Chains A and B, each alone.
Chain A
Amino acid sequence: MKKRKGPAVVLLFLIFFAACAPQAEPDAVTVQLKWVHQAHFAGFYIALEKGFFADENLDITLIEGGPGIDVIDSVVSGRADFAVTAPNVLFTEVDEGEPLKAIATIFQISPVVFVSMAESGITRPHDFIDKKISILGVQDFEMQLHAMMDFLGIPLGSMDYKDHTYTIDDLTSGAVDVQGYYVTSGLVRLRDAGYHANLIYPGDYGIHLNGDCLIATDATLEEKPDITRRFLRALLKGYTYAIEHEEEAVQATMPYALEDDANLQRSMWSASIPLISTGSRTIGLMDRDAWQATRDTLLDQNLINQPIPLEQVLDFSFIENGLIE
């Protein structure tokens, strides 16, 4: 019987051209960062530098956050496909009807900490009573402080609230007794300045919230599941790499960092690592308990109006599909 070689030849040609054909145009993905460029987002920078995004055929654009930048609006308006934001923000927006969902938790533990000077004697929330306290004008701090006080049964009115001046000077000068900081930022600056401080974590007092997460609109997740998966895979790979290669992560951050201070960025990243890689959860994992605790806290604080089901704010389909490889 005469062998038909035609199909084989065609197949070979197809393989040949498939191999030779220029790779399809990379998919453009825009990400709105929560804050200004800093080591906090080292996973992004590393993934860019190491080509993890390119490997997934993605062309990533990062939009820097900062004062006056509405992260949620960026996503909702479609300027950005994804955004980094805090879980409480997600909940309140969803509560207000925005069709958003989290697809990964970047910071497994909330970076919020309340700080007093070591010699102040203020070591626990009970000591806040009648003290001058200043917190950042971010919902997170107020919510956690209030929730913690509520947990401990300490009346909120017992504290003397002061404005947050975005410096550590208020604390070091004694202008305030307690300040709310991010572990990854303010606390780093305080420590780097050589001060010793008492740290009062909400986590030790019944408030177990998680930190920044990655969100997208329902439409994006529905329309671009593949891009989402690839983006998430590359990003988590970036974070994993950044954690395992701290110095490289810092160096990758430097070209972007608003504050051109490698030591600062290094300290920031060192402080961030335990929040991202806890040793008890896979990087990126969305821990139901933590999310539920966040929702309940928000509800307790009347920051949301209803016990929003977790499925309405979380899309587990990406992380649970075994992205972490």
Chain B
Amino acid sequence: MMEKKTKKTRKLIFRNKISLPFWQRLSTHINLYNLFFSFLFVITSITISFLSSRQVILDDTNSLLISVNQNKSNHFCEWIRSNEESILSFSQRPLLIEDTEMLIDCMEQGGDCGVIEKRLLENHLNPKASADSDFDGFFLMRASDGMVISGTDSSLIGKYQENEDFFIEGLKSGYTEPSAFHFTKGQAVMHTAVPVRTPDGTVIAVLSGHLNLEIMYGIIGQRSESSETEDSYLVNNFNYFLTEPRYGENYALRRSVFSNGVKECLAGNSGVAEYTDYRGVAVIGAYQWLPEQEICMVSEKDRSEVFAPIIAERNIFILVGSVLFCASVFGGYLLSRRITNPIHDLDRMAMQVSRGNLSARVEISSKNELGLLAATLNQMSANLQKAQEQNQKLVAELQVFNDELEARVEDRTRDLRRARFAAEKSLKDLEQETASRMQAQLLLAEKARDLQRSNEDLQRFAYVASHDLQEPLRMVASYLQLLEQRYQDALDEDAREFIHYAVDGATRMKNLIDDLLDFSRVGTRANPFEPTDLNTILGKVRANLQMRIEEENAVVVSEELPTIPADPPQMIQLFQNLIDNAIKFRAEDPPRVHIKAKEAEQEWVISVSDNGIGIDPQYFDRIFVIFQRLHTRTQYPGTGIGLAVGKRIVERHNGRIWVESAPGGGTTFYCALPKKHEEKQKPSSQGNGYQQ
């Protein structure tokens, strides 16, 4: 119990004494929560803004690329259309038609056509070529076999274009062929061709112009200054670049591209997609299929550039987020301190209080809940202090009282100690005495046992002796009496006198034996106790002694006597002996016997008083002894057994018998008899075994 308490206290002290590990601190928790939620907030807002701005940027980029694509396509188509118009109007010049017709005719005739050739070149093709920067040159092909009959590039003359698309299509109408690599020329070329018709509508030749590819490249390759990666190019049906892409040199008609955008486009679709371009770089690309030219217009922008603003934005967000985060964390830290500092103060104060310093107070720095708590704690501490002071006063008073008490207790203790010593000493003496008594008792018991034994032997002897002696004695007496009666006459005086003595002796002996038998019979012929009315008993005694009372002229007076548990015959014998004695030992006056009873606590004391001769107190002991006589037989007849028998009877009734007397002053015998019969613990052997 005690140990438990100290443990608890120690624990409390421990908690207060040692600073908490950081993960248990409230401030850590607050900071962690704050950290977590700030982080969550920052991440969420960054993500949301990132995603939304990404979508915005993507949408912007998509529409930008589509519009770039659209613009360039329009520009390109417009360029081609205007060139077709230009060459068409050129082909419709009457003089050109006339000269062409003349040249063809001339060639067919196999003549020298140099003049016509020269005129055609100088008057028409060369001026037009130099005037129209969209064209690098022009040439005329004979409609019948596609042979070049005239051209600004003389190396072409005489060569056949009969299987070229621009010739075949050009025979029918205006046609612009996508740029293609011309193997024999060893370069990329782009033809626009129109038929040359005579006024009657007959197509006599095809006029074709080499389009200035640089212009096309310029149109397509025109770049927005705002973008660093914007890339536009044309791709033909066979996946070949037709123009130079931003990141390629000599790609036109030499390199093919199979990006997803181009594939989609060549499948005839237009749209925007994110894919990997010809460099293997992730791009966002708009593609547009131009069905008339059967080519694909592609505009792309590097993903990295597109999303650079978001990256920048993201970085700003991260920066701002980080700042906010730090601010939040710092704020959280301050808040946690604002909370935990007062708590720490409170804790310190509480610790002080718990250590007993009740005067400890915490500074109330705020009016919030913690301030309230602090105030309450202060109040509590103050109350405690007050209580303690009262307590101390009380304790002091108590101390004084206690001191007094202690002094008194000490005195008393000293007395007690002394008494105890004395008691111990007397106890020791007592013990010793007890021991010696015990020893004596043991000896006494031993003696008692011996006595008992010898008493029993004696009783047996008495009984046996008296009983067995009677018979020979009766014979002696009988024969003596017979001798006296029969030989009375023959005997002389002496003889008769002798016989008379013998008979007298035998008679006395018989009386002695009878008395002895009576005495012994008190123990051996006992009756069970029963409620006995002593008045009745006295009545019977009176009757038995009627003769003697009358003879002696005695007066026997009795008061009301009680009923007690007793052996009635023995009671009769007792009272008979006492009354008989009272009458017997009479003085001069007629005997007067007074019997009365006095109630005591547990016994009745019956007294038998007479006015007889009295007894000298020195003989009080002797009178109760068997066959003890104070007087001679002649003075007072009797064997001297009456009181001995009475004493035995009284003793058998657990009573006492004693005498008060003075010579000449009368005698009073007292018999104290118990009101209730108590079976003696010690079994009386007197009643058993010797009855015959």
B583 lies within 8 A of chain A by Cβ: no
Contact A279/B258 with A124-B158, A205-B159 known, Cβ cut-off 8 Å: no
Q: Is the CB of A279 within 8 A of B253?
A: yes
- Among the interface residues A123, A124, A199, A278, which one has the most CB atoms of the partner chain B within 10 A? A278
Q: Is the CB of A205 within 8 A of B160?
A: yes
Instruction: Choose one: B155, B180, B183, B236; the contact of A109 (CB below 8 Å).
Output: B183
Q: Is the CB of B162 within 8 A of A279?
A: no
Question: Contacts of A285 on B, CB cut-off 8 Å?
Answer: 238
A275 lies within 8 A of chain B by Cβ: yes
Instruction: Choose one: B158, B183, B236; the contact of A203 (CB below 8 Å).
Output: B183
Question: Contacts of A205 on B, CB cut-off 8 Å?
Answer: 159-160
- Among the interface residues A201, A273, A279, A289, which one has the most CB atoms of the partner chain B within 10 A? A279
Interface of chain B: mostly helix, strand, loop or mixed:
loop
- A208→B162 CA distance, assembly (Å): 10
Q: Is the CB of A240 within 8 A of B236?
A: no
Give B677 Cβ to nearest chain A Cβ, in Å. 99
Question: Contacts of B181 on A, CB cut-off 8 Å?
Answer: 274, 278-280
Q: Is the CB of B163 within 8 A of A289?
A: yes
- A240→B240 CA distance, assembly (Å): 12
Q: Is the CB of B236 within 8 A of A279?
A: yes
Q: Is the CB of A280 within 8 A of B180?
A: yes
- A201→B182 CA distance, assembly (Å): 12
Contact A199/B184 with A124-B158, A244-B255, A279-B253 known, Cβ cut-off 8 Å: yes
Question: Contacts of A208 on B, CB cut-off 8 Å?
Answer: 163
Question: Contacts of B255 on A, CB cut-off 8 Å?
Answer: 243-244
Question: Contacts of B186 on A, CB cut-off 8 Å?
Answer: 274
Q: Is the CB of B238 within 8 A of A282?
A: yes
Question: Contacts of A126 on B, CB cut-off 8 Å?
Answer: 158
Question: Contacts of B188 on A, CB cut-off 8 Å?
Answer: 279
A281 lies within 8 A of chain B by Cβ: yes
A325 lies within 8 A of chain B by Cβ: yes
Q: Is the CB of B180 within 8 A of A283?
A: no
- Cβ proximity bits A178-198 to B, threshold 8 Å, 1 near / 0 not: 000000000000000000000
Instruction: Choose one: A124, A206, A244, A282; the contact of B239 (CB below 8 Å).
Output: A282
**Which residues of chain B in 6-29 are interfacial with respect to chain A, using CB atoms and an 8 Å cutoff?**
none
Q: Is the CB of B183 within 8 A of A201?
A: yes
Nearest residue (CB) in A for B162 is A206
Nearest residue (CB) in B for A126 is B158
Q: Is the CB of A204 within 8 A of B254?
A: no
Q: Is the CB of A279 within 8 A of B180?
A: yes
**Which residues of chain A in 236-255 are interfacial with respect to chain B, using CB atoms and an 8 Å cutoff?**
240, 243-244
Number of A-B contacts (CB under 8 A): 63
B126 lies within 8 A of chain A by Cβ: no
Nearest residue (CB) in B for A203 is B184
Question: Contacts of A267 on B, CB cut-off 8 Å?
Answer: none
- A255→B254 CA distance, assembly (Å): 26
Question: Contacts of A244 on B, CB cut-off 8 Å?
Answer: 255
Q: Is the CB of A279 within 8 A of B240?
A: yes
**Which residues of chain B in 510-562 are interfacial with respect to chain A, using CB atoms and an 8 Å cutoff?**
none
- Cβ proximity bits A197-225 to B, threshold 8 Å, 1 near / 0 not: 00101011110100000000000000000
Give B406 Cβ to nearest chain A Cβ, in Å. 86
Give B409 Cβ to nearest chain A Cβ, in Å. 87
Question: Contacts of B240 on A, CB cut-off 8 Å?
Answer: 277, 279-280
- Cβ proximity bits B230-249 to A, threshold 8 Å, 1 near / 0 not: 00000010111000000000
- Among the interface residues B188, B239, B252, which one has the most CB atoms of the partner chain A within 10 A? B239
- Among the interface residues A204, A208, A281, A325, which one has the most CB atoms of the partner chain B within 10 A? A204
- Cβ proximity bits B256-269 to A, threshold 8 Å, 1 near / 0 not: 10100000000000
Nearest residue (CB) in A for B252 is A279
Q: Is the CB of B159 within 8 A of A279?
A: no
Q: Is the CB of A204 within 8 A of B236?
A: no
- A199→B182 CA distance, assembly (Å): 14
- A260→B167 CA distance, assembly (Å): 44
Question: Contacts of A282 on B, CB cut-off 8 Å?
Answer: 238-239, 256
Instruction: Choose one: B160, B183, B236; the contact of A274 (CB below 8 Å).
Output: B183
Question: Contacts of B162 on A, CB cut-off 8 Å?
Answer: 206
Given contacts A201-B183, A275-B183, 18 further A-B contacts (CB under 8 A): A151-B160, A199-B184, A203-B183, A204-B159, A205-B159, A205-B160, A206-B163, A240-B256, A243-B254, A273-B254, A274-B181, A274-B186, A274-B254, A278-B180, A278-B253, A280-B180, A283-B256, A325-B258
The chain A residues found within 8 Å of chain B, CB to CB, are: 109, 123-124, 126, 151, 199, 201, 203-206, 208, 240, 243-244, 273-275, 277-283, 285, 289, 293, 324-325
The chain B residues found within 8 Å of chain A, CB to CB, are: 155, 158-160, 162-163, 180-181, 183-184, 186, 188, 236, 238-240, 252-256, 258
Between-chain CB contacts (< 8 Å), 26 pairs: A123-B155, A199-B184, A201-B183, A204-B159, A204-B160, A205-B159, A205-B160, A206-B160, A206-B163, A208-B163, A274-B181, A274-B183, A274-B254, A275-B183, A278-B181, A278-B253, A279-B180, A279-B181, A279-B188, A280-B181, A280-B238, A282-B238, A282-B256, A283-B256, A285-B238, A324-B258
